[in-house]
Amino acid sequence: MASDTATNPGATMDDGFSVRSIFSEAMSSSSATNAPRAPPAEPPRRVVPPPAKTTVDVSRTSTRVSRFSISGVSRIRQGFLSSLLQPAFEAKTIKEAVDEAREAAGKLRALGIAKAVVVQMDKSADKDALDVHFHCQDGSRYIIKTGVDVGDSEGMASVTGRLNNIWGGGESFEANYARGSKTQAAFQGTLSIPVEADPRKKIDIVANQAVLDNRPYSSHDELRRTLSMAYRAEGRSGSHEVLYSLSWRDVCNLGAKASPSLRTDAGHTLKSSLGYTFTCDNRDSPTVPSTGSYARVAAEFAGIGGDVVFGKSHVELQSNQSLGRGYVLSSSVHGGLLWGPQTSIVDRFFVGGSTSVRGFEYRGIGPRDGEDSIGGDVFYAAGLSLLTPLPFVTNDALKGHLWANAGQCALLDRRGLGRPGVSGEIARFLTSPSASVGFGLVYRHSMVRVELSCCLPIVATSTDRPKSGMHFGLGFQFL
Amino acid sequence: MATPEAPLRELLKNISFTQFPLHTTASFFAPSEIPRSQLHVHRPLRQSPGSSPTCDARSLHALALLRFASFDVDIVYGSAPDASPDGALPFLLMPSRAALDAKAIAQHVAAKLSNEPADHQAYLILAQHNLLPAIDYLFWVDRKGSSAVASRLLPFHPLIQRILGYQKARQVGDHLRVGQAELVGGTLDAAVLFENALRALDALVGLLAENEYFAGGQPGRLDALVFACVNCIVEIPVPSPLRSAVLREGSEYAPLVSFAMRILERYFPSQGDNLI
Amino acid sequence: MYSLYAWGSPFEELGIYSFDPACVSVQAYMQLCKVEWKLHRTSNTAISPNSCLPALVYNNTLVESGFWRIVQFLRSEGYDLNSKLDSQQLSQSTAYISLIQDCLVDALLFSWYLVSENFADTIRPRMAKTFGFPLSLLVPTQIKDYAEERLRYKGITSDVETTDGKSESAEAGPSGTDSRLQSLKSKIPRIYLLAKEGFRRHADKSSHPVYVQASSCLDLLSKKLGDKSYFFGDTPSALDAVAYGYLSLIIRPDLPQNTLKDIIGKNYPNLVALCDRIHSQLEEPVFAEDESWVQGIVSAVRHSVADALPLSFLTHKSAKDEPGDPELGEKARSVAGALFVFFGYIVYNGVFSTSGK
């Protein structure tokens, strides 16, 4: 039984299993009653009509799975198998049994335990029961890969090693080392444990260390060490994530030029926080979508232990509408609020850059003390884009791009919107964003979106850093 | 792909970018003002009249230099050492928003202090390389010492304090080991550090003789450094051969101890004022 | 008869008997005091409980190790070069010795180990000849690492990076793009900086901060010496011995990049005269037998093991060790090593086989 190669690991697919034996049995058993009787001795010669076609309704025929065996997998756990096959053992009809067996095979493949599974179902010795057998081709035990990734306005080179199916239940451990233009060095180790043998639900334990070089924009280096535990589940409406993280952040290497506002934020902090994120994505492409919408809502509360206390929420919404003949109208809104007695630069929001409000430098919008962008406690950013087909270009991936972006970012304390002696700041914050318009080209690649834009900043505050002219943007998620 | 770009290029030639942005609004942020110079130092061991305003020798040295040169500064506690330009307190934050680290503070006040005889340069180096290492050993590497002052020198969460304390102890241990006079310095021996410190104190007692200050009528750079070191040796609540030799009844270092007390009374009168 | 265990010397033909300035100072002190002593050239630091040389041994027991402890011991034995000084001069002596040992040594270490030309062309090959195989592979690099670490703590890094004028420009000129310029500069590949360094190899290096600091130290010393024969009058004192120890290592050898020697020769002739004056009073020391190659291998193993261990194990001295017989351990180990090799050879070649298959 050959099995096809899968392109979409999540979907269950036809493994090509053999039900011939069942059907033949059913046929033979049901046709036994209608089988033509042997003609009596020397009857008068007449044509015997062929037996009538019998149909077997597999959704009604009651049966059960009595035995299960699996071969070809080097390591698999008993407890994992029982939770994997529990729906199959509960099946009452043939259709249910076949469906659940297929689903179990798909899960084995999605978890990386087996590369390909052939499901074989035979009539069992027990009455009205089936024996299910999985012929598996063992999944790869380890993978080592090197690659070049693209983050937001940053290119990174990384080395990843991955161990699959460590304890027989689809657990995997991945270690990753990356180095990029903005991230000096980042190590990450992730242990991923599926829950209830379901590849859509898992528990991740992550240990991470990264050194971020923020010196060109904010005059400091940040050393971040994080230990976190997350529960991720993909449901029908979207994916949910509950995360607890313990993070040790160090703002260091300030140098002689840093501003006093940055010096008050320098040093070591320990953040212990609990967060929840909900993501719903039904766009057709994550980089340059033409239909669908995307919503992401995140909330985080820090203060359970540690010495940082805050409540943070972050919302991203995007909707795309295809107007026909290659025109796409895309609009997106981002917003966030950080609420705490004394916020630190490592927690705040930054606006501006080629993946955020275009037409401004990276971290170019928002509170700025001297040369340093120190981030804001509240921000919003909105973007409206029209993607147009280009006249002589047949490739759908390259499109023209007309856009307008606006955003604003401010602190909430006595230095920002809460300044004594100035009234109406909140209203002014909401009604006068820093805005820019522009036009350019967009290229869609499955991994990355490349933009070349001519940016024309329209409105900016006196401390913003607008950047007009032709600019290049490379990233994954754009405004 | 030349054809789609050509009209774009022509368009761009006609636009001049200096007129952008078209409209500028007021900023939403006003940085906090710094009315007077602020010296950021470590916290003192105890807040009581008659004890020094900080526990750390280098911070006290900088503060003494500023007081001798009659610079009026506010003392600020609680900053992290990373806030300083060179990564260690003290640092001075000026109203012009520039920050000066310890070396820069010394240069800043050099003009205002009295001229000292050339010999004192050698004594400064003697004190820097023989007294400060012993104090660093007592503060960071010695277990009792570091636990007594850890909360003052590392104002962070207790878990981080402990990890950083171990890291710093290793770092300071290496630093002290390579700073010894013998090449390929071998192991770090606390007894040798203390002997060097006592020898340096001997030399300084010989220099001070009966004078009020090392430099004559007015205190100078050497006075500031020796005052800071002697004060720290006396104040740190850790028993060591250094401390017992200095504080012993009728020890030969008594002139230095009274010299330090004199400066403390005269230039650091009470702790109530100027503190933020 | 005292035995002084000291490091060997790459410049023995010039009359300098150690590369370690502390060892040369002790040797000069002992000769000026007319102590009876002989010199053991060794690289085995295990003799002293502090693992540092020079170490003074009397009657096969270790007496003291380390410069100041040896000097104090000799003083207590009656060999005191400072006996004619009054209390003010004594305190000056301590201060100026510290000036030389803690400040001037930086320039000496820089010029020997951090100037890559000097180290690669002169110092390392000569040291390799002194130590012999296998230590020649380990010890010069170890000392270079030590020198780099020591200078790094003082903010002095190797010549390639600092000739670009590093952070002294951080205080001057508050231009907005300066921090970006600095971070750009740090991204320039090292190969370009090395090439630039090569083009400027014959330029005058004396503006480097380490040489500026050395000039101010030498200035002080020269002023202190003035026109006198020795620092404190007509007879040599401990300060003269130390000055000789450090200055002779700068003045006498000839290095490819002689910046420090030129500075002293041009500006401070009285220091050069002092050095020569003391050198003329010293004679060649009595040498003890050199260590055998077995001991050399043992020392090499010990050096590489000590290197590999994390430093925290070595940084703490818990209790004072009893000074034992320094040579007995060596002898025992070399005998054990020889016996092992002997029996190993026999067993390997089947002359002697253990019963049982």
pLDDT at C186: 57
Q: Are residues A220 and A122 in the same domain?
A: no
Q: Which two tokens stand for residue B264?
A: 């403390």
The set of residues, in sequence order, having a beta carbon less than 8 Å from that of C351 and lying 6+ positions away, is none
Q: What percent of chain A has pLDDT over 70?
A: 90
Residues A233 and A326 in one domain: yes
Asked if the model's pLDDT at residue A8 lies above 60, the reply is: no
Closest chain B residue by Cα to residue A410: B28
pLDDT score at A41: 54
A293-304 mean pLDDT: 95
Same domain for A134 and A230?
no
pLDDT of residue A477: 84
Distance CA(A447)–CA(C187), nearest Å, equals: 28
- pLDDT above 70: residue B124: yes
- Residue B193 inside a domain? The answer is yes
Count Cβ neighbours within 10 Å for each residue of A303-333 and write b for 16 or more, e otherwise: eeebbbbbebbbebbbbbebeeeeebebbbb
Residues 111 through 150 of chain C touching chain B, CB cutoff 8 Å: 142-143, 146, 149-150
| B167-196 pLDDT tens trace | 999 999 888 888 877 776 578 888 888 999
Minimal CA–CA distance to C257: which of C190, C194, C209, C200?
C200
Of A93, A119, A138, which residue sits at a domain end? A138
Residue B251 forms part of a structural domain: yes
What are the Cα distances from residue A223, in Å, to A18, A275, C93, C341? 57, 21, 47, 52
Check CB contact under 8 Å for C170 and B130.
no
Comparing CA positions, the residue from A281, A4, A317 lying closest to residue A137 is A4
Flag whether pLDDT at C324 surpasses 60.
no
Instruction: CATH number of the domain at A267, please.
Output: 2.40.160.50
pLDDT for the residue C185 = 57
Residue C41 CA to residue C54 CA, distance in Å, equals 10
User: Which residue among B12, B24, B29 places its CB closest to the CB of A410?
Assistant: B29
The number of C-beta contacts closer than 8 angstroms across A and C is: 18
Q: Which domain CATH number covers A101?
A: 3.10.20.310
Which of A314-323, A392-401, C228-237 shows the highest mean pLDDT?
A: A314-323
Which residue in A250, A410, A414 is closest to B82 by CB distance? A250
Q: Which of A121, A138, A155 is the last residue of a domain?
A: A138
Higher pLDDT, residue C12 or A28: C12
Question: Residue A4: its pLDDT value, please?
Answer: 37
- A255 and A350 co-located in one domain: yes
Distance of CA C152 to the CA centre of its chain: 17
Q: What is the percent of chain B where pLDDT is above 90?
A: 33
Alpha carbon distance, N-terminus to C-terminus of chain A: 49
> Does residue A46 carry a pLDDT above 60?
yes
Q: What is the mean pLDDT of the segment spanning A117-144? A: 87
Work out the average pLDDT over C302-324.
47
Look at phi and psi of residue A237 and say left if phi exceeds 0, alpha if psi is from -120 to 50, else beta: alpha
Residue that has been written with the tokens 């609020």 in this structure: A337
Q: Is A257 found in the same domain as A131?
A: no
Q: Is A219 on the interface with C (CB under 8 A)?
A: yes
Residue B7 lies inside a defined structural domain of this protein = no
Question: Coil, helix or strand for A12?
Answer: coil
Confidence band, pLDDT 50/70/90 cuts, at residue C297: low
pLDDT of C176: 39
Tally of structural domains, chain A:
2
Does a structural domain hold residue B89?
yes
A contacts of B99 (beta carbons < 8 Å): 256, 258, 260, 263
The bridge status of strand B91-93 relative to strand B38-40 is antiparallel
Flag if C94 and B125 touch (Cβ within 8 Å). Answer: no
Give the pLDDT of residue A370. 87
pLDDT tens per residue, range A47-96:
777 777 777 776 777 888 888 888 888 888 888 888 888 888 888 888 88
Q: What is the pLDDT of residue C322?
A: 38
Q: What is the pLDDT of residue C294?
A: 59
Determine the Cα–Cα distance for residues C116 and C118; give it in Å rounded to an integer.
6
Q: What is the pLDDT of residue C188?
A: 65
Distances (CA, A) of C269 to C225, C264, C265, C274: 11, 7, 6, 9
Q: Is residue A151 part of a domain?
A: no
Q: Is residue A159 part of a domain?
A: no
- Give residue-wise pLDDT tens across range A219-234: 899 999 999 999 999 9
Q: List CB contacts (< 8 A) between C183 and chain A.
A: 213, 215-216
The distance from CA A339 to its chain's CA centroid, rounded to whole angstroms, is 27
Position C290 pLDDT exceeds 50 = yes
3-class secondary structure per residue, chain B = CHHHHHHHHHHHHCCCHHHCCCEEECCCCCCCCCCCCEEECCCCCCCCCCCCCCCCHHHHHHHHHHHHCCCCCEEECCCCHHHCCCCCCCEEECCCCCEECHHHHHHHHHCCCCCCCCHHHHHHHHHHHHHHHHHHHHHHHCHHHHHHHHHHHCCCCHHHHHHHHHHHHHHHHHHHHHCCCCCCCCCCCHHHHHHHHHHHHHHHHHHHCCCCECCECCCCHHHHHHHHHHHHHHHCCCCCHHHHHHHCCCCCCHHHHHHHHHHHHHHCCCCCCCEC
Q: Give the DSSP H or E segment for A232.
A: strand A221-234
| Cross-chain residue pair B122–C68, CB shorter than 8 Å | no
User: What is the arithmetic mean of pLDDT over B108-131?
Assistant: 88
For residues A424 and A299, membership in a common domain is answered with: yes
Q: How many residue pairs bridge chain A and chain B with CB atoms within 8 Å of each other?
A: 141
| The pLDDT of residue B229 | 94
Predicted pLDDT of residue C168: 39
Which segment of A15-24, A371-380, A470-479, B81-90 scores lowest on mean pLDDT?
A: A15-24
Q: Report the CATH number at residue B239.
A: 1.20.1050
CA distance C150 to C156: 9
pLDDT at A391 over 90: no
User: Nearest C-alpha of chain A: how many angstroms from C189?
Assistant: 15
- Please state, for a pLDDT cut of 70, what percent of chain C lies above it: 74
Instruction: State the pTM of this model.
Output: 0.80
Q: How many structural domains comprise chain B?
A: 1
What's the rounded mean pLDDT across residues B236-258?
Answer: 87
pLDDT value at B233 more than 80: yes
Q: Are A219 and A99 found together in one domain?
A: no
Domain-located, residue A440 = yes
Contact B100, A255 (CB under 8 A): no
Q: What is the pLDDT of residue C78?
A: 87
Residue A24 has pLDDT above 50, yes or no: no
C-beta neighbour count of A232 within 10 angstroms: 18
Neighbouring C-beta atoms of residue C254, cutoff 10 Å: 10
Which of A109, A138, A167 represents a domain boundary (last residue)?
Answer: A138
Q: What tens digit of pLDDT does each residue of B41-81 get?
A: 998 888 777 788 888 999 999 999 999 999 889 999 988 99
Same domain, A336 and A453: yes
**Cβ-Cβ contacts under 8 Å, A255 against chain C:** 170, 179
pLDDT of A319 reads 95
Which of B91, B116, B123, B125 best probes binding to C when mutated, by most C CB atoms within 10 angstroms? B125
State chain A's mean pLDDT as an integer: 85
C354 close contact with A: CB closer than 8 A: no
Region C96-114 average pLDDT:
90
Tell whether B31 is covered by a domain. Answer: no
> Is the model's pLDDT at B235 over the cut of 50?
yes
Cα distance between the two ends of chain C: 58
pLDDT at C314 over 80: no
* Confidence bin at B276 (pLDDT 50/70/90): very low
Helix ranges, chain C (H): 21-32, 67-76, 87-99, 105-109, 116-118, 124-131, 135-153, 159-162, 168-171, 178-185, 190-199, 209-225, 238-251, 259-267, 269-281, 293-308, 311-314, 326-348
CB contact under 8 A, A219 and C179: yes
Inside any domain, residue A262: yes
Q: What is the mean pLDDT of residues A432-438?
A: 93
- Supply the range of the domain harboring residue A320: 214-475
pLDDT number for residue C352: 53
A137-151, A239-253, B95-109: lowest mean pLDDT where?
Answer: A137-151
State chain C's mean pLDDT as an integer: 77
Q: Which domain holds residue B191?
A: 38-267
Instruction: Assess if residue B211 is contained within a domain.
Output: yes
What is the rounded average pLDDT of the residues C235-261? 90
Say yes or no: C177 contacts chain A, CB-CB below 8 A: no
- Does position B127 have pLDDT exceeding 80, yes or no? yes
Q: Which of A452, A187, A195 is nearest to B12 (CA)?
A: A452
Q: What is the mean pLDDT of residues A98-111?
A: 89
Structural domain includes residue A197: no
**Residue B260, domain member (yes or no):** yes
Is pLDDT above 50 for A7? Answer: no
> What is the secondary structure of A351-365 as a DSSP string?
B-SSSSSTTB-TT-B
For residue A181, tell me if it sits in a domain: no
pLDDT tops 60 at residue C179? no
Give me the interface pTM, i.e. the ipTM.
0.86
Does A285 reside within a domain?
yes
With cut-offs at 50, 70 and 90, classify the pLDDT of residue A18.
very low
For position C296, what pLDDT does the model report? 58
Tell me which chain A residue has its CA closest to the CA of residue C181. A216
The reply to whether omega before B255 is within 30° of 0 (cis) is no
Mean pLDDT over C37-60 rounds to: 82
Q: Do C91 and B204 touch (CB under 8 A)?
A: yes
pLDDT at B11: 66
Over residues B9-33, the pLDDT tens digits come to 776 666 666 677 788 888 889 888 8
A239 with A118, same domain: the answer is no
Q: Do A371 and C167 touch (CB under 8 A)?
A: no
Same domain, A128 and A22: yes
pLDDT recorded at residue A15: 40
Of residues C356 and B43, the one with the higher pLDDT is B43
Confidence of residue A331 (pLDDT cuts 50, 70, 90): very high
pLDDT at position B15 is 61
Average pLDDT along chain B: 85
For residue B74, the one-letter residue type is: D
Residue C298 pLDDT level (bands cut at 50, 70, 90)? low
Residue B215 counted as domain residue:
yes
For residue A453, name the pLDDT band (cuts at 50, 70, 90).
very high
Mean pLDDT of C331-355: 74
Calpha distance A338→A311 (Å, rounded) = 6
